[in-house]
A and B are shown apart, each in its own frame.
Chain A
Amino acid sequence: MQTVKENPNAITKAVEILKAGGLVIFPTETVYGIGADATNPKAIEKLNKYKKRPLGKPYSIAVSNLKMAEEFVTLNQTAKNIYQKFLPGPVTVVSKGKNKVARGVESETGTLGVRIPDYKLVREIIDKLKKPITATSANASYQKRPYKISDVLDNISEKQKSLIDLIIDAGKLPHNEPSTVIDTTVDDPVILRQGEIKFKGKSQVLSKGEENTQSVAKELLQKYESYLGKRSLVFALEGKMGVGKTQFTKGLAKSLGIKEEIVSPTFNLVLEYGRLTHLDAWRLQAPNELETLGFLQMIENKNMVIAIEWADRVSQVIKRCREHAVVIWVKIEFGKGRNERLISWKTI
């Protein structure tokens, strides 16, 4: 282990060590990080030993610019937006990885967190190395955030110390919060567009406000209520954020005589109210996660009414349930007037 002060020689030294698969502790605008060549399996193995991480836990990588980021991840519009406006800076952007880093760097689902440190020395090291380095904090898992070198060294074993090849000491760093991680894969149009529902010969009404939206729900429920007992009813709700999907479900609940307050299931994923089950696919990453939530068991109960918000994200799975359930696809769109909504529906 060698300690150097922050100077041009440190850059050359760090690049040499990283090329040889070594570990380098370096300052960033947030905390001290520990870097390994993210494309070198041996280096990552060494880093795993140092961090004492459970298997299968990914690392973020640091790159020097957007162009380099695009070699390793696919940037969608949301991601590009954030890169352009907020990087370099203390933000880690998670995107779909291109599988060009060593095993264990990308997550099990193939996503990869990338950041461009707002710290010139680090970007220069990466530029000279021409490869991304891991951007994980220099402490071992569960230890305190390292703002100075002693924060790292005082909390690790001799064995861990022996794994560090170089420390670039920039003294005490200002107490900035760690970088914020933001996942942009949620917006991935690839996921969103799968199995889009085509609306031909649809029925449509204009709602003039929340109560109106609720009554449309009531009427639709009454229209299909006769199926209950023979088949369950699934209301697949599609529409932008704030358009009134929860309002629609409130209408269903009122119609079913449910007294409890119907709230957004975004966080809990599933909320149950007697004969009504309220689901939300917004946070689901893959359509089959709907099955993990027990959707197929839910629809087997022929007396159940099921409302699914963000149904367009899980349309394949919903389509598959047509044998057991009557599926009413409901699309809500913003209208011209402030409170107006266009509501269309069809059974699929």
Chain B
Amino acid sequence: MNDALEIEDVWKKFPMRRDRPGFKEFLLNLPKFVNRNYNSNFWALKGVSFKVKQGECLGIIGKNGAGKSTLLSLILGTIYPTKGNIKVSQKITPLLELGAGFHPDLTGRENIIINGVLLGLTKDEVMERMEDIVAFSEIREFIDMPVRTYSSGMYLRLAFSVAINTDPELLLIDEILSVGDEAFQKKSKDALIGLIKEGVTTILASHNMAAIKDICNRVIWLDKGEIRAEGEPEKVVEEYLRCSG
């Protein structure tokens, strides 16, 4: 099996700026601002390395602020590492925030098209899949209404349906297994598991330990920007729960 993803000693820092100063404050403290050390840094990731094979499902667990989302954004490529290398060899489909590209004033159908293209399809390919997407979302009656009129559940259903119908190769998922009501949650989980069985590489960050144990082949435990443990889902999750319990 080839590697889908290779992460090599990745570091990421964020500048910890206080809220932007007012103009007066800025002038008074000018020497301080020029001095770069004034802005202290926060290291969100400190030397993380791992590999993911094609078709593998990797779980990422850790407390809030451990660096899970930063790691996913780095893999996606919307942010750049301060140090280190990230090699991705498959098409990434992000499920970081459902409906991130949706515009409230556009209709469901218009949003499907734009989102589908943003997630890596051509317009023709989206049109071919339109029927599947609408059918999966189960909100056919509302599909030509602006999404601002949707309930939050409908919104998430639609967003999820688009994402999984874009022929993902490498799925990045950030805590979105709780989509909609019970029935749809089950349906979306089944769909995800289906994709994973078909060989879609998946990286899943979640606090839902049951889901992690269910779906993943391997788990990484992130703690304060470092990998604290890695391996069998059962073992790592148990250790994590023991330490944070």
Partners in one complex: no
Interface residues of B (CB under 8 A from A): none
- Spell out A's residues near B (CB within 8 Å): none
